[in-house]
Every structure is written in structure tokens, then in C-alpha cells.
Structure 1
Amino acid sequence: MVLTWNIIRVVLIIIVLVNEVAALLTVFREKRDIAATWAWLLVLTLIPVIGFIAYAFLGRKPTRHRMERIQSATQLELTEAIEEQKKKFANMMKPKKQTRRTYWRTVMLFQNLDDAFFTRHNNVEIFNDGHKLFRQMFKDIEAAKKSINIEFYTIYNDQIGNQLRTILEQKAAEGVEVRVLYDSWGSRGVKPSFYNHLRENGGEAAQFLMTRSNLFDFRINYRDHRKIVTIDGRIGYVGGFNVGDQYLSRVAKFGYWRDTHLRLIGGTVYSLQQRFIRDWNATMQGTDKQILHYRRFFPPIKVENGTTPMQIVSSGPDTQLETIKLGYLRLINAAQDHIWIQTPYLIPDDSMIDALKVAAHSGIDVRIMIPCKPDHPFVYRATQYYAWMLANEGVTIYYYDNGFMHAKTVMIDGKMASVGSANLDYRSFKLNFEINSFIYDSRIADQLEQIFMEDVRHSHVVTPAMFAQQPRWLRFKQTASRLLSPIL
């Protein structure tokens, strides 16, 4: 019996030692920021075997080949188009005299980091209800004459997903060029055969970067989280909604789904379509499906009657710049009166925390609205931890009670705003491919703030005292989840 226990002890010691060595080799063989490195070392060390399973899903970076495909596609047959557009709209690239210096500095930031075009004469329509959004989107798609480009993180095989597919099949049969790009993980359960009839009718559909299946490529990170629709190069959509019944409040778990999306007409649609083409060409690299005849997709942009200046900005793991996060920081640091934010996931890094702290302690009215219910347990507990931390620093924290808050909006002083796919968390800043609109129009910012105030009516403020009264077990889960925040 003694011998048996000695053998077991030796085996356990060997397992622990092997696990420690494997953990060190696994974590340090890939370059990543120090917070994520320590978080993964903690997981792999304290949870042998299971930690490595978690790493397989959450920790592995995309292959170098995939990153090279995205980076090379950025320049593929588009450099000339970019230069042509800059020359053609040279008068639009500089702000008018009355444009605030703050706006221009933000515009310059995105031009330098992302080649983001600044256009003035855009029409912007805000949707915060899924039924109204998809009713208008489907109407626009049904009226398409030349092209329909769609890119979503999630397109489910459910009622709304099938409705979209049917419309696209009809348009493809009419001769309209239809392309659909979707993320295999976000659209899990949807097989490539879901789009067979669309292909038979002349349309195209593909998983982002041509992932074979989640069985062979089960990385949860580095996903295509963008939401892009362009129609005839004239109408565009960008925001937080995906395509699925839950986004139309048809799933009891979430209840009413509160999100924000934009319908755009004007020169800014050029930027949306260009981003889609880059992603499409990266996915279709080495095939005859790439879009090389870009001039057909970028006809001379007619100046619309709109008055909204804006930029479309994208970011992703193919670059280390974290462009959208830097844009958020630029807006927050420029605030003089108030900062209002809506986000389903509040897991900011140190730079974002410091910026919010500085604003709050400078007397700026900082408000953040998050959901009252989780859709991802660890993520929600981490969100609660950071909400408690920021509440202690003078930030007003709202829990949205009327369903699930999924909007990703930032509003500054009633003058500038951002709406898009990026949450206020590590995943959006570092791990996923995102796209946001940055708007320099007090009229649109005011509309977004009115929506925020309407949401306040369906929310309650969570004070530091209320956080302090939480059960110890809940506070432990929040603290433990916070330790994993760089990898959630």
C-alpha cells in the first residue's frame, strides 16, 4: 500500500513538472502582451490538462499564413483605388474652418492609422430595434440592381436567416452580384450547404478566411466580428446587430434585444465596401472569385444631400495598432462635458481604465450602461467587476433591465459619437476583426443621446454601496473572472 502511494505521488509530481514546462513553452513561444501572458500562465499552471484544452480554443493565434493573406489583401488591387479616391475628394479631406480642431485631430488619427476616408455629405439613419432594421434592410436589398455585399459574424439558420437567404437567392437569380461572408464560429451550426441554392443561382457565400470547420479550427478568438452590408455601392449598414432570431427578441433567454445599427448613404459607403472587398479577397486568395475589377464597384460617388461628416474605421489582429481602441481613447480624452457609453462587455485594459478615471475625476459626467443579465458567464462576471471598480471612481453605472443591452455606442459632449461592432473589451481591441463608424455631427450625436436617455428609463443605477452588499461568493467569481480578463 505504501509503495502504491509512493508511485502515485511520483506520477503526480511528474505530471505537475511536465505541465509546468509545457505551460512555459506554450505561453512564451508566441509574442503577446504581458497581461495575456500572465493570465494564460495562471490558467495552464493551476488547471492542468483542462487549461490546455481552454488554450486550444482561446489562446492559439491565427497561423502566419492567414495573417499574411489578410495583410496582402489589404493592398491587393486597391492601392490605386485608394489614391484615386484621395485625389478625387481632396477637397473633402480637409475640414472647413468652422470644424473644431478636436474633430480634425481625430480625423487625422484614423487617416494615419487606417487610411480611413473622411467624407462630409452622408445621410445617417439610426435603428435601435431589430424588426425595424431588418424590414428596411430587406427592402433595400430587394431593390438592388447591381451588387449586394454582406458580412456578418452571425447568420443563423433560423427564421430571419432563412428569410435573408431567400431574398438573396432571388436577387442572384435576377443577375445581381451577391456575396456573403460569415464567421464559422459566430454562425456555428450553419453548414456551407446552407448556401447551395444561392450558389446555384449565381451568388457566392464563404466562411471568413475559408475555415474548413470548427472541428478542425476551433479557435474562439480572432473571429470576424464585423457587420457590413453594402447595396449597389450606394447604401450601407454598420452596427451591432447580427442576423438571427435572438436579435429580433424571439429568444426567451435574452428577452428584448436592444442594439444600435446605422443605415448610411453617401461617400462613406465607399469605405464600407472597400473593407468588404479586402476581407473577401483575403478569403478567396488563390481563386478566381476575388474582386480585381474594383472600378465596377467604385463608381464616382455622388455627393448626397446629407450633412453628416464621418469615417469608417476597422481594426483586427492583423495589425498591432488597436485602431478602434485608440479612437475610443481619443474621444474620451477630448471630452469636456460628458461621456456616455453603452456596451454589453465592459472589460477595459489599463489605458482605457485610466482614461475613464481621469475623465470622472476631472468632473466630466461619465456614464456606462451594461446588461442586467449575462450571455457569457465569465465575461459577465468580469464586466461586473470593472463596473464596480469604475463606480468607485465616480463613473455612473447603469444596468439595463428591459432585456439584453448589446449596443456598442460612445457619445461625447453631444458632438461626436461612435457606433459599430467593437465592445469595450480586450477581445474587440486585440483579438477580433471589428468595424466602427466615427461620427462628427451634433445632430446624430444628439439623437444617440436621446436614445440613451430613453434607455435610462428602463435601467437602474448600481452604486458602490450596492456592489459592496453583494454576496461574497458573487464577489469572488467577479474577482476571479477579472484575473482572466486579458483572455476572455
Structure 2
Amino acid sequence: MKGKYKRLVVNRIVITVVLILLQIVWFVFMLEKLARYSSWITTAFTALSIAIVLYIIGKDDNSAYKIGWIVLIMTLPLFGGLLYLFLGDKKPSRNMRRKLNAQHDVFKDTLIQEGELQDRLGKIHGRAAGTFQYVRRVSDFPAYENTDVTYYPSGEEMFVDMLEELRQAKHFIFLEYFIVAEGKMWETILEILKQKAEEGLDVRMIYDDMGCLTLLPAGYYAGLEKYGIKCMAFNHVIPFFSLVMNNRDHRKILDIDGHTAFTGGINLADEYINEKVRFGYWKDTGVRLKGDGVWNFTEMFLEMWNAFRKEDTDISCFKPHVHHPEPFEGKGFVQPYTDSPLDNETIAENVYLDILHQAKKYVYIFTPYLIVDDVMRNALCTAAKRGVDVRIVTPAIPDKPTIFRLTRSNYPPLLRAGIRIFEYTPGFIHAKSYICDDEFGVVGSVNMDFRSLYLHFECATLLYRTSGLEELKKDSLETIAASREITLKDCKQGIIGGLFDSVLRVFAPLC
């Protein structure tokens, strides 16, 4: 069976690549043919490119993204404007926007912020209250108390508790992941899901079709349905109609009975639990929430599910206390939230920025990719210049060599500002986390790159004075100690290398 799957996956990739190349060749051929036919057409295409550049300048968009397109269009004045018309709109399709926005409007009334909680947080830390209020206002997801947080410094540690909680599930299991791959991790989970579905539990799964393109055969969701597992592949890859699959579901959510949820950077594949070695030791992180705050994850899953597969009219039956009448315990405040390309609001980036702006002592950051815009770069540098101990850990062994070079090309201005950068020498760090001043933390699926911050559907949990933060800090320091500190001498590329890095930075937002 595995051999059959591999052949199907290879065929799927070949078909996808061939169709995309055919589209590009056809597009270029037709433009050149038209241009040769008449000088007026050449003039018209050039005028279109100029008009598109002026349009881009006036757009309320990320400056790095605008610069990349302007350079590309001026380099290819004949084709650049048309390329932008086909590929420049990074927003989800109208159909996707309509469905998701409509579903959010239906379910958002279930997201109720307790007024007294905001007041209590304001009395403890007014600036923190402002951060939580911002996330609530732009995403509708409220903050909660009474939620216990467990931090995991590795995928293998989290996997043990994931299995234990899955086996204890009594009512429903929701999974939403960017990557699912056959192997020990997924097959162990799948056996439990089959058993639970057979017992009558409501088991549902969403996986990203592009994320699993090379890992699962087309139509894999239909096979799961035969086991009683309701399954949906998000944003199907249709090569003939979609040159670029920009908007991917990069979230990682495991929700059990509405009162227990796991999230972080950990997907369902063997490298995430180091059963499979790809780039040395795979360093990842995650958190488990138990309590009231899990409702945000339940709602965001059901919102995505019902936007494309109408099933629930009343979702109150999935709330935490329906299947757990006893009160929950937990110190501090949590706020799980989602960021999407639908709202024209870079929530994830703004949370990161807000933490940097209010940091007093330190900020430690884990990220596999460091591809930042001017706003994020300035915030990082300004924090360091005012005396905050800013440390960033990136991989020493890359998963994508070009992206690794692009990440390294962003080091020099940060190092000159006093930021300390470390590369994780045991292998690849896939974790996405912030910790600040022993008080703030963020653990989620959000990388510090353009795709995560602007194009993907992401999720994360904002933590303030919760359990788990002490373990996050300890893990940060231990990871830094196991890493190699980078200096400006390590970043010298020469004139040609420097020019190549500049080109990479210009076009990175377009990829």
C-alpha cells in the first residue's frame, strides 16, 4: 500500500509541475506573439506596467512587498504589469473570503469577553491589558483565566501527552494540521482516531492540501471517511487554475472534548518527534491548554470546518464546561487567536511587535526563518538599543538552503544594533515562540517570515503570567547554550554575495 501511495504522490507532483510550466510557457508565448504583431500592443503593455506601478505605490500594503513588485515590473516592463494582474493579489479568492467571513459572522457571537477579566488584567498591568484588548478587537477572540498551560520543549515529549489525552477522549476530537505524513506518529494517532470513531465520537480532521502535496495521495481524505473520520483537505491544489497557492492553512490544533487543546509548531510527521532524521535533531515546541481558553481553538476549528462543510448550526454543545462541569484551574491569562489573510490586519506580527515595544529586560525568540520587513527589523533593533537583551535562535542545519541564506542575509543590521543571534548547531529548530521578562509568552505556528505573517492562516496563544512560562524560559536558555553565537565576521559574503543577498531580500515577499 505504501508503494502505491508513493507512486500516486509522485504522479501528483509531476502533473502539478507540468501543468504549471505549460501555463507559464503559454503565457509568455502569447505575449511575445502579440507584441510582435503590433507596436501598439507593446506600448499598451508598457503603459499598463507603469499604471500598475503607480497603483502599487498608492496601495496600503507592506512596503517590502511593494518594492519587490515594482523592481520586477520595471525589470520586465512588457510582462510585469500582466504578471501582477495574475499573481499580485495575495488575498484569498473571493469564494474563500465570502465563505469564511460569512461563517465568522455566524459564530463570532459565541466569543464573549468577560468584562471583569479585562478590568482585573488592567489593574495588574495596563500595557498587557492593551495587548489583549487589541487581539480581542481585531480578531474577536477573547482572553481567559482558569486555563492550565503545559509547555513542551520537544515534539516527542508532547506526543506522549497527545496520545494519553486522545485515548481519554469521550465526546469529540478535532484536528487541524498543515503537514500529515505516514509514519509512526500519524499511524499511531490514526489507530486511536479509528477506534474513537467506531465508538461513536465525533472525529473531524482538516489538513492543508498543499502542505501534504508530497506526503499524501490525492483524495486521502476520502479514505479516512471510510473509517468514520470526517475529513477535509483545505484549499485543494488545482494546478491548471492556480499558479500560486498563496493562502495555506498553517495552523496546528488538536482539540479534545473542548477542554484540552495542543498547539505549537509540531505537525503530524515523524521528524517532529525525531523518529526520522532529516536535518539533525528536530527542535520544536508546543503547549497544552486545559480549561476555559480552549474554547477559542474549538471555535476557530468549527469556523473553518463549517465554512466549507456545513454541519453545525449551534456550536454551544462543544463548549468546555459541557463535558467538564467542574471548574477549571490555572494561573494567569491566556488568549488563543488566529491570524488570517482575510482581515487586512497582521495580528501575529503586531503581537510580536507589541511584546518588543513593552519589553524591559529581555526577549528570547525561536524561529526557523528570519525574513523580516522594515517594521519588524526596526522594532527588534530599537528594543536592543534601549538595553533589552534580545536573542534570536535560528537553525544551523537548514531545511531550505535558499531560505537559509535569506535568513542569514538579515543578520548584519540586527547584530550591529546589539541583538545576539544563535544558530542551533544540533540541527533544525522549527519552534515559533517568544518569551519576555518572565511575564509574556507566545507559542504557536507563526514563523517570522512573509508567508506566515501575511499569507497563511495561523494560530498562536498569547500567555501572561501563566504556568509554563518558567519552562519556556529555561528551555530558551538551554537551547541558546547548545547553539553557536553568530558574529558580523560570520556574515561576510563579498561584493557578489552581497548583491545576490540583496536580490533575495527584494523578491522574498513575492515568493
Q: TM-score, normalised by structure 1?
A: 0.87
1:459-478, Cα deviation, whole Å (9 max, x unpaired): 1111123323x455543432
Tell me the secondary structure at the aligned position of residue 119 of structure 2. Answer: coil
> Per-residue deviation at 1:127?
1.4
Q: CA deviation at 1:221?
A: 1.9
Query: Offset of 1:405 from its aligned partner?
Result: 0.8
The DSSP-based 3-state class of the residue aligned with 2:328 is coil
Q: Which amino acid is the alignment partner of residue 301 of structure 2?
A: F
Task: Give yes or no for contact 1:118–1:310 (8 Å, CA) kept in 2.
Answer: yes
Q: Distance in 2 between the 1:51 and 1:242 partners?
A: 38
| Equivalent in the alignment of 1:155 | 180
Judged with a 3 Å threshold, the aligned counterparts in structure 2 of structure 1 residues 299 and 416 are, in CA distance, closer, same or farther, namely closer
Looking at structure 2, the residues matched to 245 and 373 of structure 1 have their Cα atoms a distance apart, in angstroms, of 18
Residue type of the alignment partner of 2:100: I
Cross-structure match for 2:316: 295
CA distance in 2 between counterparts of 1:167 and 1:216 reads 37
1:167 Cα deviation after fit: 2.2
Q: How do 1:6-85 residues align onto structure 2 when only pairs under 5 Å count?
A: 20=46, 32-43=61-72, 46=75, 61-76=91-106, 78-82=107-111, 85=112
One-letter code aligned to 2:229: G
Q: What's the TM-score once normalised by structure 2's chain length? A: 0.83
Give the Å deviation of 1:202: 2.5
Quick check: 2:331–2:466 contact (8 Å CA) kept in 1?
A: no
Aligned to 1:206: 232
Q: 1:69 Cα shift? A: 1.2
* Alpha-carbon distance change, 458 to 315 in structure 1, aligned in 2, over 3 angstroms: same
* Residues 58, 220 of structure 1: 8 Å contact kept: no
Q: Which amino acid aligns with 1:478?
A: D
* Equivalent-residue separation in structure 1 for 2:121 and 2:338 (angstroms): 25
Give runs of aligned pairs for residues 178-197 of structure 1, distance below 5 A.
178-189=203-214, 190-197=216-223
Shift of 1:111: 1.6
For residue 349 of structure 2, the aligned residue among 319, 325, 335 is 325
Residue 400 of structure 1 pairs with residue 424 of structure 2: yes
Larger mean Cα displacement after TM superposition, 241-250 or 259-268: 241-250
The amino acid of 1:364's aligned partner reads V
Q: Report deviation, 1:13.
A: 11
The runs of 5 or more residues in structure 1 that have no matched partner are: 1-7
Cross-structure match for 1:164:
189
CA shift, 1:123, in A, is: 1.2
Give the secondary-structure state (helix, strand or coil) at the position aligned to 1:94. Answer: helix
1:368 to 373, 392, 398: 392
In the other structure, the counterpart of 1:434 is: 458
Q: Deviations over 1:294-317 (max 9, x none)?
A: 121125375322213110121111
Give deviations 1:310-356, integer Å, cap 9, x for gaps: 10121111011111111111111011111111111111222111111
- Structure-2 change in CA distance of 1:97 and 1:355 (3 Å): closer
**Alpha-carbon spacing, 1:165–1:101, altered in 2? closer, same or farther (3 Å):** same
CA-based RMSD:
3.0
Deviation of the 1:252 alpha carbon? 3.9
Which of 456, 478, 492 is equivalent to 1:454? Answer: 478
Q: Give the whole-Å Cα distance in 2 for the aligned partners of 1:253 and 1:20.
A: 47
Structure 1's 252 and 218: CA in aligned 2 closer, same or farther, altered over 3 A?
A: farther
SS in 1 for 2:333: strand
CA deviations over 1:226-273 (Å, ceiling 9, x no partner): 111100101101111111122223444312110111111011100110
Q: Aligned with 2:468: secondary structure? A: helix
Q: Say whether residues 1:355 and 2:379 are aligned partners.
A: yes
Contact 1:93/1:119 (8 A) holds in 2:
no
Tell me how far apart the structure 2 counterparts of residues 45 and 163 of structure 1 sit (CA, whole Å).
53
Query: Is the 1:123–1:265 contact (alpha carbons within 8 Å) kept by the matching residues of 2?
Result: yes
- Go from structure 1 to structure 2 and tell me whether the alpha carbon gap of 1:400 and 1:476 turns closer, same or farther (over 3 Å shift): farther
Q: Where does the alignment leave 5 or more consecutive residues of structure 2 unmatched?
A: 1-32
Structure 1 residues 434 and 43: alpha-carbon distance in aligned structure 2, compared to 1, 3 A threshold: same
Q: Distance in 2 between matches of 1:75 and 1:97?
A: 28
Contact residue 121 and residue 129 of structure 2 kept, 8 A: no
1:254 corresponds in structure 2 to 279
Number of residue equivalences: 470
Contact 1:165 1:195 in 2 (8 A): no
Q: Is the 8 A contact 2:49 2:81 kept in 1?
A: no
Give the percent of matched residue pairs that are identical in Structure 1 and Structure 2.
27
SS in 1 for 2:175: strand
- Pick one of 116, 122, 127 that aligns with 2:152: 127
Name the stretch that deviates more: 46-55 or 355-364.
46-55
Q: Cα distance, 1:157 vs. partner?
A: 3.2
Aligned mates of 2:427, 2:160 — CA distance in 1 = 21
Q: 2 CA distance for matches of 1:222 and 1:449?
A: 32
- Residue equivalent to 1:5: none
Q: 1:403 to 1:50 in 2, by over 3 A?
A: farther
Measured in 2, the distance between the counterparts of 1:350 and 1:363 equals 20
Q: Quick check: 424-433 or 224-233, which moved more?
A: 424-433
CA-CA distance at 1:454 after TM superposition = 0.6
- Out of 314, 333, 349, the position equivalent to 2:338 is 314
Equivalents in 1 of 2:110, 2:289: separation in Å? 21
Aligned twin of 2:26: none
Secondary structure of the structure 2 residue equivalent to 1:191: coil
Q: Matched residue of 2:146: which SS? A: strand
Q: Hey, what does 2:127 align to over in structure 1? A: 102
Distance, in Å, in 2 between the alignment partners of 1:261 and 1:402 is 19
Residue 340 (structure 1) aligned to one of 346, 359, 364: 364
Where 1:455 maps in the other structure, the secondary structure is helix
CA–CA distance in structure 1, aligned partners of residues 430 and 332 of structure 2: 24
Distance 1:92-1:290 versus aligned 2 partners, 3 A rule: same
Q: What CA distance in whole angstroms lies between the structure 2 residues aligned with 1:19 and 1:166?
A: 57
d(CA) in 1 for partners of 2:486, 2:42: 43
